[in-house]
């Protein structure tokens, strides 16, 4: 029986929810104050910064900020703000950005420069986990309508607003924002010549897939991820896109595509030390177990356990170990693995724990040790709040009584379970089994 449990991936989904990597606010931006000829102070500061002497550059810029020329003074302030941000001196950078945004009342503001300042201040807040402050300024920098003037930083602001929508669970708002942004990225300047814009489009496609997954819109998610995969981004983005595309295939029952993509992800991330990468060999093991290919299942599990000895979902590995041993007829070893699942505190309350306890009963049932099987099935009913598995356990518990000729005990189990678990997939079978036992009891009178 194949158990398609997409929520397993959701356990580590946060590790896969990668935003666009480290947009450094100190890098070259779309706009700076117009300075006809850069004065010596600006030139010297930029030379020092390029050489890695950021403190020296800041010292020069502080002197240059006293220039009587407004444009020179503002250019020095912006360069200094970017350097402070690069050095992690957030308060100093914030003060300079705010002074620049206040502007000179006697001068007409440059709209593009104002947008850039809002974007860079928003990015400063984002890098320091101040998401409310980031959104406040990203909204002022973002492209909201097709007719609004755009630049790379305004596109990025729109992306980050969608990212925050996803983070806050505003799925519809995030999807709408990206639906407006993605066509503009493709149409800007008629191509994707800008590396910065190409990267942004790729991460926007990835985020679009994540939002569609959160919305259970699997076809839209697959479409966005396939478009991203066709663009061949670098890792880890490509590996994550392939992982989520494989998850959708796994959910939809397309095991051939799922195996192909999970295998690619496992190879692509072999040297990447991040917890989510262990999910690919785990899924491969699950797929092989569904085909009852126990040697291949064991190989995938051995690799996973060797590569990630502290894997947080170790109980899933133990469950598959149990299935492998049971498939090979090694019932004591299977029970030992299943008991590790039940004893693992991380598995408490999970479907996997209920399944493991149920499988302990199955191993005894197949060995015709019905007393032990009954005890194991009873524990599923009493200790695991998983109605589908509790109903199945009740069915097996009743069958154990039947096989021992204890028809009255079997009837009592079926009567209680048929009422308690009537809404489960096994509900009708429990009712039918009760009728069968009633006929047997009547025949014995």
Q: What is the pLDDT of residues 135-166, one digit of tens each?
A: 999 999 886 555 456 778 888 999 999 999 99
Assigned token pair, 80: 């200094």
Least trusted range by pLDDT, from 119-123, 132-136, 190-194: 190-194
- Half-sphere exposure in the Cβ direction for 307 (13 Å, CA): 23
How confident is the model over 3-7, as a mean pLDDT?
46
pLDDT at site 235:
81
- Cα 250 to Cα 128, 138, 208, 263, 423: the distances in Å are 37, 37, 20, 13, 27
Identify which has the larger pLDDT, 32 or 235. Answer: 235
In a domain, 402, yes or no: yes
pLDDT at site 152:
80
In a domain, 381, yes or no: yes
How confident is the model over 88-116, as a mean pLDDT?
84
In a domain, 220, yes or no: no
Domain with 368, as residue range(s), is 313-445
Q: How many domains does the chain have?
A: 1
Render pLDDT for 177-208 as a digit per residue (tens, 0 to 9).
999 999 988 765 545 457 788 889 999 999 99
Residue 89's nearest CA partner among 45, 35, 146, 128 is 128
Residue 39 has pLDDT above 90, yes or no: no
Render pLDDT for 307-361 as a digit per residue (tens, 0 to 9).
888 888 999 999 999 999 999 999 999 999 999 999 999 999 999 999 999 999 9
pLDDT at site 197:
84
State which of 106-120, 173-187, 247-261, 268-282 shows the largest mean pLDDT: 247-261
Residue 14 has pLDDT above 50, yes or no: no
Residue 23 has pLDDT above 80, yes or no: no
pLDDT at site 276:
83
pLDDT at site 19:
40
DSSP one-letter string for 219-271:
HHHHHHHHHHHHT-PPTTHHHHHHHHHHHHHHHHT-HHHHHHHHHHHHHHTTT
What count of residues does the chain have?
A: 445
Residue 108 pLDDT class (50, 70, 90 cuts)? low
pLDDT at site 24:
32
pLDDT at site 151:
77
pLDDT at site 67:
85
Least trusted range by pLDDT, from 21-30, 305-314, 329-338, 398-407: 21-30
How confident is the model over 227-237, as a mean pLDDT?
89
In a domain, 352, yes or no: yes
Q: How far apart are CA 341 and CA 229, in angstroms?
A: 36
pLDDT at site 187:
65
In a domain, 226, yes or no: no
What CATH number has the domain bearing residue 389?
Answer: 1.25.40.10
Residue 32 pLDDT class (50, 70, 90 cuts)? low
Q: Which residues touch 445 (CB under 8 Å, ≥6 apart)?
A: none
Identify which has the larger pLDDT, 402 or 3. Answer: 402
Contact 80, 61 (CB under 8 A): yes
pLDDT at site 432:
95
Residue 5 pLDDT class (50, 70, 90 cuts)? very low
Residue 117's nearest CA partner among 140, 133, 135 is 140
In a domain, 249, yes or no: no
Query: Based on the number of CB atoms within 10 Å of its own CB, is 260 exposed (0-12), middle (13-18) or buried (19 or more)?
Result: middle
pTM of the entire predicted model:
0.77
Q: What is the percentage of the chain residues whose pLDDT exceeds 70?
A: 87
In a domain, 332, yes or no: yes
């Amino acid at each position: 029986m194949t158990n398609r449990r997409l929520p397993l991936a959701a356990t580590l989904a946060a590790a896969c929810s990668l935003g666009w990597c480290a947009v450094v606010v100190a890098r070259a931006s779309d706009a700076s104050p117009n300075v006809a000829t850069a004065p010596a102070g600006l030139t010297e500061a930029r030379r020092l910064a390029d050489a890695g002497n950021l403190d020296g550059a800041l010292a020069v810029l502080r002197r240059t900020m006293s220039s009587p020329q407004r444009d020179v003074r503002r250019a020095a302030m912006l360069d200094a703000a970017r350097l402070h941000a690069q050095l992690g001196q957030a308060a100093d950078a914030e003060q300079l950005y705010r002074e620049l945004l206040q502007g000179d009342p006697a001068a007409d503001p440059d709209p593009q420069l104002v947008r850039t300042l809002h974007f860079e201040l928003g990015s400063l807040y984002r890098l320091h986990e101040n998401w409310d402050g980031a959104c406040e300024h990203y909204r002022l920098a973002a492209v909201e309508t097709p007719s609004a003037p755009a630049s790379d930083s305004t596109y990025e602001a729109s992306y980050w607003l969608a990212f925050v929508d996803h983070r806050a669970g505003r799925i519809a708002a995030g999807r709408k924002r990206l639906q407006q942004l993605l066509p503009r990225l493709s149409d800007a300047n008629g191509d994707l010549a800008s590396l910065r814009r190409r990267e942004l489009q790729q991460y926007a496609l990835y985020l679009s897939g994540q939002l569609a997954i959160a919305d259970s819109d699997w076809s839209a998610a697959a479409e966005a991820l396939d478009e991203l995969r066709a663009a061949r981004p670098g890792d880890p983005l490509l590996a994550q896109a392939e992982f989520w595309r494989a998850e959708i295939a796994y959910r939809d029952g397309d095991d051939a595509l799922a195996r192909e993509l999970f295998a690619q992800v496992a190879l692509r991330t072999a040297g990447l030390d991040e917890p989510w990468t262990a999910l690919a060999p785990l899924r491969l093991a699950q797929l092989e177990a569904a085909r009852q290919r126990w040697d291949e299942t064991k190989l995938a599990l051995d690799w996973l356990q060797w590569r990630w000895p502290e894997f947080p979902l170790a109980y899933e590995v133990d469950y598959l170990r149990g299935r492998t041993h049971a498939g090979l007829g090694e019932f004591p070893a299977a029970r030992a693995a299943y008991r590790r699942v039940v004893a693992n505190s991380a598995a408490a309350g999970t479907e996997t724990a209920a399944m493991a306890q149920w499988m302990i009963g199955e191993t005894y049932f197949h060995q015709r040790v019905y007393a032990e099987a009954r005890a194991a099935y009873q524990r599923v009913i009493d200790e695991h709040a998983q109605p589908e598995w509790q109903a199945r356990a009740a069915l097996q518990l009743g069958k154990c009584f039947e096989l021992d000729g204890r028809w009255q005990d079997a009837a009592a189990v079926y009567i209680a379970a048929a009422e308690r678990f009537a809404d489960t997939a096994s509900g009708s079978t429990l009712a039918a089994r009760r009728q069968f036992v009633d006929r047997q009891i009547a025949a014995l009178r």
